[in-house]
Structure 1
Amino acid sequence: MIWIISATAAVLLVAGWCLFDFILGRKNHRSERSSVHYPRRFGQVTCYKEGGTFFRDYVEDIKQADQSVYILFYIFRHDSIGSQLVDLLCQKAEEGVTVRVMLDRVSSGMNRKGREKLKKSGVFFTYSRPVSPPYLFYSLQRRNHRKVTVIDGEIGYTGGFNVGDEYLGRDPKLGYWRDFHLRIKGEGVQDLVQQFTADWLRERPEDHFSPDSNPDHLPEGDTCFHFLATDGDGVLQAFLDMIRRARFRIDMATPYFIPGDVLLEVLLEALERGVVLTMILPAKRDHPLVQEASWSYLEPLIRAGAGVYHYNDGFFHAKALLIDDVCCDIGSANFDQRSFHLNLEMNTLIEDKTFIEYVRNILEKDLEHASRLRLEDVQKRPLPVQIKEKAARLVEPLL
Structure 2
Amino acid sequence: MNGLSPLFVCLGLLFSAMTDANDIEDAKYFSIMGLQSTPDDPSNAFQRDPDAIDLGRKLFFDRGMSASKEIACSTCHFTNNQYIANESIPAGSPRAFRSVMQITGVAYNRFFFWDGRADSLWAQALGPIQNPGEHNLDRLSAVQYVVRNYAAELNKISSTSAKYEGYLKRVKNWNESSNDDPPTTSINFLFSLMGKSLAAFQTSLPVQPSLWDNVARAKIKGTPLDKAQEKIWKGFRIFTGKARCSSCHDGPLFTDFSFHNTAMPTRPELGIEAGRYEVLPQIKSNEFGCYSLYSDASKDECRHLKYVNQSIDENFGSFKTPTLRNVRTKTHFGHASQFSSLQQMIDHYDTAPVGVHGRMLNTRTLSELKPIGLSSSEKESLLEFLKAL
Regarding TM over 0.5, the answer is no
Greater length-normalized contact order (CA 8 Å, ≥ 6 residues apart): 2
TM-score by length of 2: 0.25
From the two aligned structures, give the one with the greater helix fraction: 2
